[in-house]
């Protein structure tokens, strides 16, 4: 496997006004259609759901669900994807690291997981 290139990637949080970008990316990347509760959870996660831009082009995303129980919080990574032409550039790694960095900043987060 070739080392990831150092590419310029910027992130934006998902909000109501750019939710359609997340929906379009998911339709292009994943073989399933996500229900409304997926997008509700993604929007509610705040900084834990991000869009990745390569230049001005939205090319990937990470979508998480925040699960709070008593004094502990878990982060569930629902999806992590990058459009095929932009894979192997390190964009997915940068998306994942952005969420891991947020988790390290919050002592209430005890677990981050995916399946």
CA–CA separation, 1 vs 29, rounded Å?
A: 22
Pair 54, 89: CB distance under 8 Å: yes
Pair 55, 10: CB distance under 8 Å: no
- Catalytic annotation, residues: 76, 115
Q: Is 86 helix (H, G, I), strand (E, B) or coil?
A: helix
């Amino acid at each position: 496997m070739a080392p990831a290139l150092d590419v310029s990637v910027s992130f934006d949080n998902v909000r109501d006004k750019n939710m359609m970008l997340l929906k379009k990316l998911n339709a292009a990347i994943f073989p399933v259609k996500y229900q409304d509760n997926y997008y509700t959870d993604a929007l509610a996660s705040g900084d834990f759901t991000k869009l990745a831009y390569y230049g001005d082009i939205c090319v990937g995303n990470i979508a998480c669900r925040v699960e709070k129980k008593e004094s502990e919080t878990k982060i569930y990574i629902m999806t992590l994807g990058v459009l095929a032409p932009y894979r192997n550039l390190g964009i997915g790694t940068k998306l994942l690291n952005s969420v891991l960095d947020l988790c390290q900043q919050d002592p209430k987060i005890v677990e981050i997981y995916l399946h």
